[in-house]
Amino acid sequence: MADDATGVETRQRRILGTIWWTLPLVLLGVPALDLWVVPAPAIDGRGERITLALQCNAVALMPYFAVCMKIATTRFLEGAHDPLSMNASPSLAIDCRVMQNHLEQLVAFAIAALALATVLPAEHLQLLPIATVFFVLARAIYGWGYHRQGTLGRAPGVQMTFAITVPMVLGAFVLVLLRAFA
């Protein structure tokens, strides 16, 4: 029992050990780019806003399609054509898990981006492409970390993904409420 508790504590320390750089990178980097670097796009119509969000979502799809192509290529080269046969290499099994996680996170990001696009003030619409770049970076770090360090290697990518998506969802929610009661 003590060994298991020690193992849990070790894993928790390892996961928490990356928060010092992942959360500040996202939570300070995105607003800094919004305020000082990236100009707001010259759009304000609802259709243009939705178009911007859809374009950002198309870019956010890139990590998903990249891992899908990697899986297809690996299955072809390794002869693991039947995913139900369970004779996939460890690397292919990780890629399949990464693909599933990418899809799950992409759904949350896409909905948040679309919702935010409809309520974000025009002078801050650049947050959508900025968040998209950070999302793609986070997903790349997730996959790379999983391959390099196993399940604990996913932590920075998970932390960054949540640090992007959760504020987007909360921001959209707050802005919707403000509009509803204004």
Q: What is the domain partition of the chain in residue ranges?
A: 20-180
Rounded distance between C-alpha atoms, residue 138 and residue 149, angstroms = 16
Judged against a pLDDT cut of 80, whether residue 86 lies above it is answered with no
Banded pLDDT at 3 (limits 50, 70, 90): low
The CATH classification of domain 20-180, taken from the options 1.20.120.550, 1.10.3720.10, 1.10.3470.10, 3.40.50.1110: 1.20.120.550
Q: Which residues contact 159 (CB under 8 A, 6 or more apart)?
A: 18, 19, 22, 23
Judged against a pLDDT cut of 60, whether residue 2 lies above it is answered with no
Nearest to 130 by CA among 53, 38, 61: 38
Distances (CA, A) of 179 to 127, 164, 174: 19, 23, 9
Question: For 106-158, how does the pLDDT look when each residue is reduced to its tens digit (9 = 90+)?
Answer: 999 999 999 999 999 999 999 999 999 999 999 999 999 999 999 999 999 99
Neighbours of 165 (CB within 10 A): 22
Q: pTM of the entire structure?
A: 0.91
Rounded distance between C-alpha atoms, residue 147 and residue 95, angstroms = 8
Contact 52, 120 (CB under 8 A): no
